[in-house]
Amino acid sequence: MLLEIRDLRTHYQIEKGTVKAVDGVSFSIGEDEVFGLAGESGCGKSTLIRTIMRLIPDSARVTADRLSFRSQDLLSLSDKEYREKILWKEISLVPQSAMASLNPVHRVGDQIVEAILAHSRMGRREAAQRARHLFEVVGLQAGLTKSYPHEFSGGMRQRAMIAMSLALDPSLIIMDEPTTGLDVLVQERILRKLAEIRQQVKKKKAILLITHDISVIAEMSDRIGIMYAGRLMESAPALDVFNEPYHPYTLGLKNAFPSIKAMDKELISIPGSPPNLIDDLPGCVFSARCPFAIPECDVRRPEFKEIKPKHFAACIRTDHVQEFRKLAGEKETWISSRSKG
């Protein structure tokens, strides 16, 4: 296992209380795997990334049963050690909104060179050459390293960010909403390029793909995790999540996204909104919006357990899943749910 996470929690202390941005996430990523983490706004996926990449403020408290990379405990490393050994070399990041991550007054190639120099012992010449090579890998002409960010289109910038993330040949690339805001055709080419890159490069690359776009996750991932209000609701191989989901939130999400291959499908919303992460939530975080919740769901926090081989879910009522799957497809189930629209 490349990355192993067990019961990771990131809490922020603010005036009004403690924000439990990440409150119990467990999953692992293998050497050559694409793990897609799906979740809507406010579910904690950004905080999760930042926790793994050590980009969170000092005031945040991080605890975990396990947070290890190639069996090395990440939490015990000092900031310096982390920066020298892990950051960019083993784990790199393609951040959301490429424009905001690129300095508008520096050439794109130079920014990649700086990143390489900061994290390795390469000389400037070597680094510049590597930058040009990386551009070609992602499908950009080598000469474009001399351009400025504003001269690139959205798709080109995103590819530049991917090039930067590949600079030191990491084993794990975290991609935060890699195609959000991009046009469909551009998105298609980038995803295709990514698949190509993974096949071509010598060293196997695992990807942690984070997005709210279920379709993109479906196409790219080997395994999928569903996150909600800071906790992981379900995680399983991609096909299983779509064909045999266990968690009511997953069931709800399935009905919520349209597809051109299923134009007759009746879309169903999940009424209500995610809970406030400051409040104390002793039971299941989804219980307020769950049509299948029973009183026990409000008080007992469901364990994230393995229901079938490699298939995990956090729900105490998984024994009724056959019934739930049927009911979830009907609109009335969700309308009469406990929360308001």
Interacting residues with other proteins (CB under 8 A): 40-41, 153, 155-156, 183-188, 191-192, 212-216, 218-219, 221, 238-239, 242-243, 252-253, 255-261, 263, 265, 267-271, 273, 340-341
Q: How far is the CB of 286 from other proteins (least distance, A)?
A: 11
Query: Which lies closer to other proteins via its Cβ, residue 42 or residue 122?
Result: 42
Tell the smallest beta-carbon distance from residue 154 to other proteins (Å). 8
Residue number, 265 or 300, with CB nearest to other proteins: 265
We find the least distance from the C-beta atom of residue 45 to other proteins, in angstroms, to be: 13
| Residue 83 CA, distance from chain mean position | 21
Determine the Cα–Cα distance for residues 338 and 292; give it in Å rounded to an integer.
9
Q: How far is the CB of 77 from other proteins (least distance, A)?
A: 34
- Measured from the CB atom, the residue of 16 and 340 that comes closer to other proteins is 340
Strands 34-38 and 223-228: parallel
End-to-end CA distance of the chain: 42
CB atoms within 10 A of CB 69: 22
For residue 287, what are the contacts with CB-CB under 8 A and spacing of at least 6? Answer: 293, 297, 298
Residue nearer to other proteins on the CB measure, 58 or 266: 266
CA neighbours closer than 13 Å in the CB half-sphere of residue 90: 17
Minimum gap (Å) between residue 296 Cβ and other proteins: 24
Contact 158, 77 (CB under 8 A): no
Q: Shortest Cβ distance from residue 255 to other proteins (Å)?
A: 7
Maximum C-alpha span of the chain: 65
Choose between 222 and 298: whose C-beta lies nearer to other proteins.
222
**The token pair that represents 326 in the structure block:** 């049927």
- Closer residue to other proteins, CB minimum distance, 17 or 271: 271
Query: What tokens were used for 312?
Result: 């995990």
